[in-house]
Chain A
Amino acid sequence: MHKKIIIIDNDQNYVTPLANVLQKAGFSVQIWDEQQDIFEFIRKIKPNLIICEAHLPSLDSHELFKRLRSLPEFKSIPFVFTSGQNNVDTRIKNIEIGVDDFIAKPFYPEEVISRIANLLQERENFGSYQLETERGFTGNLTEMNLVDLIQTMELGKKSAVIKLKHENLLGEVYITEGNVVNARLDNLDGEEAIMRMFTWTIGVFAVEITDVNQQRKIPKTNKELIDIGLRRLSSWEQIVHGLPPLQAVIARAGTKESEPLSADEKKLIDMMPEKIRLSELIQKSPFDDLKALEIVRSLYQKGMIQETEDSYSHYVEDYIKRIRQNSAHGQNPESRAAAIVSNILRKPETDDSPERRHIPDRRLHGRRQSDPGKYTNTVYLSKIELLMIKEALS
């Protein structure tokens, strides 16, 4: 069935070509007529996505957006603003109020289709989980990355599928009774797939608690995986620190070629289009993402690539978007609590952690510290007695 899109705009110069492009891309398009009651119209169409001009003379589009977000039946419909006022302030203002995306006019049809397809895909991948907290939970990778998620599943010894979305990539990690058994990412699976996902710190996740029927393709234990994952994350963060933001748009730096390039560097620079987002370049590279990032850093240090002028607005836009997502996520008690439980209260498990070696609490130490672990309990209760207690409590 075609996905339904509503366009709310009175500028026919844009509406007609936009509708044509969307229809050609396989969407069913409905255009709002100013005479119609907007809420009745939306209720009748039940759209999968709404595209709305931000500045309409006949409708306060920001107010419309806020009201839709406050109504349960409409709140999960992706909402995209378009506007001819294409300055950074306008873009940021629109993103700050919580719209899913903002597309500046004039727009390229390919860009619109790509952004809309991404939004719809994202909603399809994760939307169904949002209301089903009994079966799982969703959140933001900025707050809980894959290492945290695996540890949380391990604590609860749960079987689950963890779905991760980063840029336009979608990966899955399969967990049986707390143990990672397999992972998939595009055409990769097993360790190769999960290693890539360990470096994803931007994006969203959805955890579905369910039985998992997957052959074990990852022989490593969770601890081994997490160790590798943490090392990769650490290397990733170190390299990223010396580069423009991953959302920055980069370009080749003309003919500057002061230093010879390695084969890998040459390969990467040859595949670069005129301009590309840094994150996209890493994704599209034929190398492992960590290696790709290292090559990018080398190219950047050699002056072979540089940040472009329009990079700033993209970066600010993405940054604000992330802040907003995090802020919304911060209000999501499920993910926040899971993060707190896994990160704070798991301390007793790590016997050799520094926190454990240096407990400053004299209530349990001082004179007794010399003989830890001696407090043998002398109470004996049989299984039957314990069962009787349990029965009495029930």
Chain B
Amino acid sequence: MKIGEIAIISHSSRQRDNFIRSICRKIDLENELVSFGRFEINDQLGLHFYGISIDKQDSDLSWDLISRKMLGYVVIFDWEDLISLESVKPIVNGFAETLRAPFVIVGNVPDMSKPPIPKIFFQDKGIHLSPNFRFTFGQVDQPECARKILTLLIDMLLDRVEHNGFFQHK
């Protein structure tokens, strides 16, 4: 079975678990440091989700090992919470320097029917920050929204496939 692995990173374990729960029927492992969920496409292909809380992992996680396997990353912060934004900024900036996988940065909002900026700016492909980074808004505990965010990540991977013929982080 071929597995694609995706890291869901947030300052809040509740937030990251809600996101994984929106995609997977159940979470196989759930603790403060990390959570894990599976999403099976068919018997040959599946996605594994690793939920990581950035304020808990400190230096304990071996990003060099984890990142070898990651298909991509979803970084979530609360749009209306400056502390949450500040907590993801160094991570995002650090990842940008060291990792080559695609990132979707999500500003979590309580109500997607009232997005902070006109939807036209982020629907479909999100806001382009760099070739590896897209930004979008989402209500991460809503399954439909979580799927859209993941679709955005898959689209970024597909863009690479279109360019390279196959997917490989370089």
A394 at the interface (CB under 8 A from B): yes
Q: Which residue of B is nearest A377, CB measured?
A: B169
Contact with B along A355-390 (1 / 0, CB 8 A): 110011111111010001111111111110111111
Q: Could you tell me the dominant secondary structure of chain B's interface residues? A: mixed
User: Which residues of A from 304 to 359 have beta carbons under 8 Å from B?
Assistant: 333-334, 336-338, 341, 344-349, 355-356, 359
Chain B residues with CB under 8 Å of A394's CB are 147, 151
Chain A residues with CB under 8 Å of B79's CB are 337
A244 at the interface (CB under 8 A from B): no
User: A135 vs B119: C-alpha distance in the bound complex, in angstroms?
Assistant: 9
B135 engages A341 (CB within 8 Å): yes
A97 at the interface (CB under 8 A from B): no
Question: Which of A135, A155, A333 touches B129 (beta carbons < 8 Å)?
Answer: A155
User: Which residues of B from 120 to 160 have beta carbons under 8 Å from A?
Assistant: 120-122, 127-130, 132-133, 135, 147, 150-151, 154-155, 157-158
User: Which residues of A from 126 to 167 have beta carbons under 8 Å from B?
Assistant: 133-137, 155-158
Question: Which of B69, B94, B150 touches A364 (beta carbons < 8 Å)?
Answer: B94
With contacts A338-B117, A375-B100 taken as known, whether A362 is within 8 angstroms of B59 at the C-beta atoms is yes
Q: What is the CB-to-nearest-CB distance from B142 to chain A, in angstroms, rounded to a whole number?
A: 14
A134 engages B118 (CB within 8 Å): yes
B128 engages A393 (CB within 8 Å): no
With contacts A375-B100, A377-B100, A393-B150 taken as known, whether A347 is within 8 angstroms of B93 at the C-beta atoms is yes
Contact with A along B5-19 (1 / 0, CB 8 A): 100000000000000
Chain B residues with CB under 8 Å of A376's CB are 68, 100, 168-170
Chain A residues with CB under 8 Å of B59's CB are 362-363, 366
Chain B residues with CB under 8 Å of A360's CB are 90
Contact with A along B50-70 (1 / 0, CB 8 A): 000010011101011001111
Chain B residues with CB under 8 Å of A276's CB are none
A380 engages B166 (CB within 8 Å): yes
